[in-house]
Structure 1
Amino acid sequence: MPTIRDVSKLAGVSVATVSRVLNRSGYVHEETERKVLKAIKELNYTPNFVARSLTNKKTGTIGLMVPDITNPFFPELARAVEDVMQQYGYTTILGNSDENPQKEKQYIQLLKQKYIDGVILASTALTAEEVHTFKVPVVVLDRVVLSDNIPMVTSKNREGAREATRFLLKQGCRKIAHLRGPVQLRIADERCHGYLDVVEKLEWFHPGLIVASNYDMRQAMQATLELLKKHPDIDGIFAGNDIIAIGAMRAVQLLGISIPEEMAIIGYDGITMGEIVYPELTTMAQPIYEMGALAARMLIKMIEKQPLDTLYYELDVQLIERGTTRKG
């Protein structure tokens, strides 16, 4: 049976630091906390007091609300949340809202009846005012709610969109379309604004080059087919997420247009599916696991009534160049 000393040795920290992480007492740097949690997981270490400490909480259960579990981005995000929560003795209940405000409200009411200790919202069909009515701690993940006091974890969506669009221009693209996400979704708006920041004043730009596809692969495929009928000279596509990009790839291939020689495509998110399509998808990758783990740690601190270092995290994104764009 592994001991707390084994954990401290593997993590390269003191026994006292491991104890602070497990007890959620005192300050521990986030990087140090990650090392300790990784060591605990690798050793399969289960301290006896974790089970006993659950009697001091309401239920040891949190809710995680996602908009579409069929989008591979959200299972990857959920895995990170569950991993961290499990290390601290919490159980995660998953809800799928389909971006439906009524369905999301029904889930929240159900979760409240289960006496959950907190909620992570990766679905934002709710307004800031509605979120404020929750009687438990809430962290918003991969979404933006207009409020100064709701903790949030997101990525640099607008900046990433600018980088993606500039990259297509550097690749030699002369007319770039944008397949955007839902119009009511703020992160989709930010990615669209990032695209516009780069192309809006270029002579070839036309508002008709922006088409909504609602993060749906089939809709994206159909939207791309229609777009290329109207604008056959498009030679670059910046998609609002990887699912949209894969739908666009399918449409382009059906039309017999070669990727990347005649059409360059770049997605957004960095899901693992992008590595198994052909050609492999170039993408602006979000730090998916880090985002989920960070949101989980924030929620735990709130449940344990510990202060947060900040209420808002906006993480960097990274361009991953693969086969759907030409090599420079």
Structure 2
Amino acid sequence: MTTIRDVAKKAGVSVATVSRFLNGNGYVSQEAATAVKAAVEELNYELNTVARSLTTKKSNLIGLILPDITNPFFPELARAVEDVALTYGYTVVLCNSDEDPKKEKNYIETLKKKYIAGFIVTSNQLDAPHYANLKLPVVALDRVINERIPTVVSNNRQGGFMGAQALVDRGSKNLLFLRGPEEFGSANDRYIGFGEAMEKNSVTYETVFCPFHFAEAEKIVEQYLHDNKDIDGIFASSDVQAAGALKAAHNLGLAVPKDLQIIGFDGISMGEMLTPALTTIAQDIYKMGAIAARVLIKQIEGQPIENFMNEIPVNLVVRGTTKGAVT
């Protein structure tokens, strides 16, 4: 196995010079740098990243904290973060917090000991000061944590309005809105947008709180539809909720979209696999993850950040759970 001493001998320089070159720490002449680089390539030397991190107190690791890996939205975000990080030479460490503050804090403390380069956070279980005082680069993704922390989100308020209006435009008169958890700012913004659409239209509506989980959404919607047979349109705060609503409609023998129209929110690929395929307010999930990764890497590498708030537009994708024609 090739060692740093072998590289130094081949390049005709000291071990200390090789170390400074590899770690990017300290002065190395152009002549020496060229010699070391040639020796590294000729000997096929691979730097021990663990040893390097112990020496420099830095690593090429990025921590990605997700609240629920079973929700298809978050793996799609993670894919984009990982793709971009790899192109810049960083490795993503995936942390599934299960929306548990203790678990989330444990991930942070553990990765800090591994000299993590920075964090991308899609959870707001820990209070903002904890992240603001972390003394490491942090980007908030799909959540607003603190005005001092760069953030990447969709225009959730716009999406809430668009989804509600789309149901009204397609003839729904009695709507049910599945509101997401109150602790999620994105869910609250969708609720605000929905409310703005309701103020504009003469329709009746009800709102129920619903977790972003398929089985719970199915149970809540099935009971509600059983007790309220006049509901003819459901707008869900997530595609997973919408999938649960679709299953509930099937359980009750309701035809979608003839008897009941359903719109979700997220634009995950799973929506196309449902029968009928899900109409949704689509976020540009890949773009969100990619921007978050680039913003974090800029912080890590000391480059200026142009925008601390990155709000990505959403769009309505019409599929089989709504009527195609606008009335």
Cα drift, residue 57 of structure 1: 7.5
Partner residue in 2 for 1:319 = 316
Partner residue in 2 for 1:180 = 179
- Give CA deviations for 1:3-29 in whole Å, capped at 9, x if unaligned: xxxxxxxxxxxxxxxxxxxxxxxxxxx
Cα drift, residue 107 of structure 1: 1.2
Aligned alpha-carbon RMSD (Å):
2.0
Equivalent-residue separation in structure 1 for 2:281 and 2:219 (angstroms): 23
Equivalent-residue separation in structure 2 for 1:303 and 1:57 (angstroms): 13
What is the letter of the counterpart of residue 167 of structure 1?
A: A
Partner residue in 2 for 1:158 = 157
Cα drift, residue 170 of structure 1: 0.4
Local SS of the residue matching 1:247: helix
- Give CA deviations for 1:141-180 in whole Å, capped at 9, x if unaligned: 01122x3211000000010110110010000000111112
What is the letter of the counterpart of residue 310 of structure 1?
A: N
Whether 1:78 and 2:75 are equivalent positions in the alignment is: no
Whether 1:234 and 2:231 are equivalent positions in the alignment is: yes
Partner residue in 2 for 1:269 = 266
Equivalent-residue separation in structure 1 for 2:122 and 2:183 (angstroms): 15
Cα drift, residue 232 of structure 1: 1.1
Local SS of the residue matching 1:79: helix
Alignment of 1:48-59 (within 5 A): 58-59=58-59
Q: Are 2:173 and 2:204, in contact at CA under 8 Å, matched by a contact in 1? A: no
Partner residue in 1 for 2:275 = 278
Alignment of 1:93-104 (within 5 A): 93-104=93-104
Equivalent-residue separation in structure 2 for 1:203 and 1:230 (angstroms): 23
What is the letter of the counterpart of residue 75 of structure 2?
A: P
Cα drift, residue 71 of structure 1: 0.8
Equivalent-residue separation in structure 2 for 1:248 and 1:193 (angstroms): 21
Partner residue in 1 for 2:250 = 253
TM-score, normalization by structure 1: 0.81
Equivalent-residue separation in structure 2 for 1:250 and 1:128 (angstroms): 37
- Give CA deviations for 1:241-292 in whole Å, capped at 9, x if unaligned: 0000000000001100100011000001100100011000000110001100
What is the letter of the counterpart of residue 279 of structure 2?
A: T
Partner residue in 1 for 2:209 = 212
Partner residue in 2 for 1:197 = 196
What is the letter of the counterpart of residue 81 of structure 2?
A: V
Cα drift, residue 230 of structure 1: 2.8
- Give CA deviations for 1:271-323 in whole Å, capped at 9, x if unaligned: 01000110000001100011001000000000001100110100001111000
Partner residue in 2 for 1:305 = 302
What is the letter of the counterpart of residue 79 of structure 1?
A: R
Local SS of the residue matching 1:189: helix
Local SS of the residue matching 1:123: coil
Equivalent-residue separation in structure 2 for 1:192 and 1:290 (angstroms): 23
Equivalent-residue separation in structure 1 for 2:218 and 2:112 (angstroms): 39
Structure 1 residues 292 and 57: alpha-carbon distance in aligned structure 2, compared to 1, 3 A threshold: farther
Equivalent-residue separation in structure 1 for 2:243 and 2:195 (angstroms): 22
Cα drift, residue 200 of structure 1: 4.6
Cα drift, residue 205 of structure 1: 3.3
Partner residue in 2 for 1:11 = none
Partner residue in 1 for 2:19 = none
Cα drift, residue 112 of structure 1: 1.0
Q: Are 2:81 and 2:289, in contact at CA under 8 Å, matched by a contact in 1? A: yes
Partner residue in 2 for 1:129 = 129
Cα drift, residue 198 of structure 1: 1.2
Partner residue in 1 for 2:16 = none
Whether 1:224 and 2:221 are equivalent positions in the alignment is: yes
Equivalent-residue separation in structure 2 for 1:121 and 1:229 (angstroms): 39
Cα drift, residue 203 of structure 1: 5.6
Partner residue in 2 for 1:291 = 288
Equivalent-residue separation in structure 2 for 1:321 and 1:155 (angstroms): 19
What is the letter of the counterpart of residue 106 of structure 1?
A: N
Q: Are 2:132 and 2:148, in contact at CA under 8 Å, matched by a contact in 1? A: no
Partner residue in 2 for 1:14 = none
How many equivalent residue pairs?
A: 278
What is the letter of the counterpart of residue 134 of structure 1?
A: L
Equivalent-residue separation in structure 2 for 1:293 and 1:121 (angstroms): 14
Q: Are 2:256 and 2:321, in contact at CA under 8 Å, matched by a contact in 1? A: yes
Cα drift, residue 128 of structure 1: 1.4
Equivalent-residue separation in structure 2 for 1:312 and 1:142 (angstroms): 11
Cα drift, residue 204 of structure 1: 4.8
What is the letter of the counterpart of residue 79 of structure 2?
A: R
Whether 1:144 and 2:106 are equivalent positions in the alignment is: no
Partner residue in 2 for 1:167 = 166
Local SS of the residue matching 1:59: coil
What residue ranges of structure 1 are gaps of 5+ in the alignment? 1-47
